[in-house]
Amino acid sequence: MTGGGIYNGYSEVHARYAVISENKSSDNSSSSSYYDNHGGGIWSFGELFLRDVLVERNYANGDGGGIYQSSTSDGCFLTDVQIRDNESKRN
C-alpha cells in the first residue's frame, strides 16, 4: 500500500486549506516492489500543488513519512505548508 492519505499516480493534485494527518502507509505483505509502503501522508508521481496545508503525524513503512514525491515527476509546489512530526522507517 502506498499513499496513506493521498495517492497521486501520474496526474495533477491541488489541495488548499487541508489537513493530512494520522495516515499510515504500510502492510504486512512480503511485496518486493520498490514503490510499496512509501508516502504516509502523500505518495505522488505527478504534479503536486499544496497551499495552506498541514501534513503531520503520518507514518510510512518505507520512505517519506509525510510526503513521498518521485524524482521523475513534474514537480512539487508548496506554499505555506507545514510538514511536521512525520515518521518513516527508511528515510
In tens, the pLDDT along 45-81 reads 899 999 999 999 999 988 889 998 988 777 899 999 9
Single-letter code of the amino acid located at 23? N
Rounded distance, CA 55 to CA 67, Å? 8
> Could you give the CA distance from residue 70 to residue 64 in angstroms, rounded to a whole number?
10
User: What is the per-residue pLDDT across 1-53, written as a single tens digit (0 to 9) for each?
Assistant: 567 888 888 899 999 999 999 998 876 555 555 567 888 999 898 999 999 99
**Residue 14 near residue 48 (C-beta atoms within 8 A):** no
Q: What is the pLDDT of residue 73?
A: 77
pTM: 0.84
In this prediction, residue 76 carries a pLDDT of 92
